[in-house]
């Protein structure tokens, strides 16, 4: 179970099957560090690892335990690229920075693979490729354009016919698909635990159950206030994504946390296993409210989709997820779903993650728009470079201004309206 979470979204397959986490004693006393990191997900943990490796004194403060947020709960799908396609990314950031953003996001899975190999992280990593199945012919041209744009950049993507798609997915529910051979998958909580262990091994100090309550500039330093003490730092990295609280009110207004939920079975029988995703691909489809699915390393089937803020809404969404899973895979009709869980993804108004400075040595990376397993790993490294003194213009991802979302206090009704509209458009095609 995910500790300190609503019971209805706490029964996670990853928590039930994870390795022992490292010892991370709660923070106490008055301490000093070069770089303080708030948040122990992939962003904060990779930043801590890179900084510690290069000899920087780094202290990470996590309100719960490493990987407690989205990083320990996600679908474990390593999908290269950003939400937007490469041509649009280059237009958005301009030719020089845009090209860098495309390269960094396109190679983000390589970075994950190299970290796993270098630090011998045991997290069931595999790289059979990522499939984006097309739910309706109206999405075909969008997906084909994506493939063409990446192919022009020599990335190994191709379109699949309806028959090829049915063979690779084990369902005839889709009209065709895109296959991106760069994609992979892993056990996300074990990846977070492995990153935490590696960071500690290289000298980073990690503190669990250590919620930062406030940040205050004092002279040339920033002072982080906790219930149990305070930490003085030269630089602060805010890595709290969809869980950003009042510690960073400006950042909080730049993202909208949206719940994503998942269900999982127990390990399937060999027969069922052979009939679903027989070559081990992961999939997230072309719907606006996308469905994402895969098998884990032990053959459990996982399906994810959009959640809700309220208990009654969650109940409805879990029931809808059961139903659609059995529509796509009728062979699961009699298979119970043992696990039900969820967490917050952080959406931004422009659909891009934001690497930003709040002035005076306070830097942040957040807003992965549900595409953060590989990308948070990549931006954690960029944050580490930045905190080590690499100039903004030389970073592997462009720095943008903090962009508060207008009428942020209205986010919940706005999200509900957007979801209802997207659902209608998905149904109409
Ligand atoms: C259900 C679900 C499925 C997803 N599936 C996928 C997928 O298959 N592929 C993909 O690429 N992406 C997926 N994502 C998105 C991905 O998980 C995230 O983008 C990524 O994990 C973000 O990492 P992070 O480190 O930035 O934030 P998080 O992992 O959310 O970490 C933020 C941490 O900050 C801590 N924190 C907050 N405030 C404070 C404070 N004041 N003091 C101390 N600590 C604090 C929180 O406790 C939390 O642990 C999914 C997300 C969810 C929720």
Tokens 């998958």 belong to 185
What distance in Å separates the CA atoms of residue 353 and residue 383, rounded to the nearest whole number? 13
Contact (CB, 8 A) for 214 and 227: no
> What pLDDT score was predicted for residue 406?
72
Cα-to-centroid distance, 351 and ligand 1 (Å): 16
Cα-to-centroid distance, 41 and ligand 1 (Å): 6
Residue 5 DSSP one-character state: S
DSSP-derived secondary structure for 185-238:
E--HHHHHHHHHHHHHHTT-EEESS--EEEEEEETTEEEEEETTEEEEEEEEEE
Residue 132, ligand 1, Cβ within 6 A:
no
> What pLDDT score was predicted for residue 414?
66
DSSP-derived secondary structure for 241-262:
GGG--TTSHHHHTT-EEEEEEE
Contact (CB, 8 A) for 243 and 252: no
* The two three-digit tokens of residue 50, written as one number: 């890179």
For the chain, the farthest-separated pair of C-alpha atoms sits apart, in whole angstroms, at 66
Task: Give the residue, by CA position, lying nearest to ligand 1 atom 19.
Answer: 372
Cα-to-centroid distance, 40 and ligand 1 (Å): 9
Residue 184, ligand 1, Cβ within 6 A:
no
**Element spanning 10, H or E:** strand 10-11
> What pLDDT score was predicted for residue 404?
85
β strands within 348-396, DSSP E: 354-357, 362-366
CATH 3.50.30.60 assigned to 7-70+109-114+185-278+290-413: no
Digitized pLDDT (tens) for each residue of the chain, 429 residues in all: 999 999 999 999 999 999 999 999 999 999 999 999 999 999 999 999 999 999 999 999 999 999 999 999 999 999 999 999 999 999 999 999 999 999 999 999 999 999 999 999 999 999 999 999 999 999 999 999 999 999 999 999 999 999 999 999 999 999 999 999 999 999 999 999 999 999 999 999 999 999 999 999 999 999 999 999 999 999 999 999 999 999 999 999 999 999 999 999 999 999 999 999 999 999 999 997 899 999 999 999 999 999 999 999 999 999 999 999 999 999 999 999 999 999 999 999 999 999 999 888 999 999 999 999 999 999 999 999 999 999 999 999 999 989 888 767 666 766 666 666 666 676 666
Closest ligand 1 atom number to CA of residue 72 = 29
Centre a 10 Å sphere on the Cβ of residue 158 and count the other Cβ atoms it contains: 13
Cα-to-centroid distance, 373 and ligand 1 (Å): 9
Closest to 380 measured CA to CA, from 17, 91, 71, 170: 71
Cα-to-centroid distance, 268 and ligand 1 (Å): 28
Residue 262, ligand 1, Cβ within 6 A:
yes
Long-range contacts of 152-159 (CB under 8 A, 24+ apart): 153/86, 153/102, 153/106, 155/80, 155/106, 155/180, 155/182, 156/180, 156/181, 156/182, 157/181, 157/182
Residue 133, ligand 1, Cβ within 6 A:
no
Task: Give the residue, by CA position, lying nearest to ligand 1 atom 49.
Answer: 69
Residue 47, ligand 1, Cβ within 6 A:
no
Residue 307, ligand 1, Cβ within 6 A:
no
> What pLDDT score was predicted for residue 350?
93
β strands within 270-349, DSSP E: 282-284, 292-295, 301-306, 339-347
Residue 215, ligand 1, Cβ within 6 A:
no
Residue 361, ligand 1, Cβ within 6 A:
no
> What pLDDT score was predicted for residue 360?
84
Residue 61, ligand 1, Cβ within 6 A:
yes
Q: Is 8 helix (H, G, I), strand (E, B) or coil?
A: helix
Residue 79, ligand 1, Cβ within 6 A:
yes
């Amino acid at each position: 179970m995910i500790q300190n979470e609503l019971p209805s979204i706490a029964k996670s397959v990853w928590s039930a099957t994870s390795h022992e986490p490292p010892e991370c004693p709660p923070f106490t006393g008055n301490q000093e560090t070069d770089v303080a990191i708030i948040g122990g997900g992939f962003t904060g943990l990779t930043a801590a690892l890179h900084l510690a490796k290069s000899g920087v004194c780094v202290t990470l403060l996590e309100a719960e335990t490493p990987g407690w947020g989205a990083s320990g709960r996600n679908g474990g799908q390593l999908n290269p690229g950003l939400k937007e396609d490469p041509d649009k990314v280059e237009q958005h950031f301009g030719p020089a920075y845009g090209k860098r953003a495309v390269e960094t996001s396109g190679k983000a899975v390589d970075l994950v693979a190299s970290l796993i190999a270098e630090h011998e992280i045991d997290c069931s990593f595999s790289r059979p490729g990522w499939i984006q199945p097309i739910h309706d012919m109206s999405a075909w041209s969008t997906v084909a354009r994506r493939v063409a744009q990446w192919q022009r950049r020599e990335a190994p993507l191709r379109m699949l016919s309806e028959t090829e798609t049915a063979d690779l997915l084990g369902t005839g529910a889709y009209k065709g698909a895109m296959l991106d051979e760069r994609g992979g998958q892993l056990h996300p909580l074990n990846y977070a635990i492995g990153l935490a262990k590696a960071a500690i091994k290289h000298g980073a100090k990690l503190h669990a159950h250590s919620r930062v309550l406030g940040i205050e500039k004092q002279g040339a330093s920033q002072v982080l206030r906790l219930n149990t003490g305070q930490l003085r730092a030269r630089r602060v990295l805010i890595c709290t994504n969809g869980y950003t609280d009042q510690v960073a009110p400006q950042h909080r207004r730049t993202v909208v946390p949206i719940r994503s939920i998942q269900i999982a079975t127990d390990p399937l029988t060999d027969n069922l296993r052979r009939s679903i995703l027989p070559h081990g691909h992961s999939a997230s489809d072309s719907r606006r409210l996308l469905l994402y699915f895969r098998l884990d390393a032990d053959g459990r089937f996982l399906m994810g989709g959009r959640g809700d803020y309220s208990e009654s809404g969650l109940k409805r969404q879990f029931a809808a997820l059961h139903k659609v899973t059995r529509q796509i895979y009728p062979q699961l009709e009699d298979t119970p779903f043992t696990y039900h869980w969820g967490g917050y993804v952080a959406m931004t108004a422009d659909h891009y993650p934001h690497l930003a400075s709040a002035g005076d040595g306070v830097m942040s990376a957040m807003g992965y728009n549900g595409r953060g397993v590989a990308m948070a790993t990549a931006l954690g490294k960029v944050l580490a470079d930045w905190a080590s003194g690499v100039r903004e213009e030389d970073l592997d991802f462009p720095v943008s201004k903090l962009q508060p979302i207008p009428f942020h206090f209205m986010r919940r009704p706005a999200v509900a309206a957007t979801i209802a509209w997207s659902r209608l458009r998905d149904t109409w095609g």
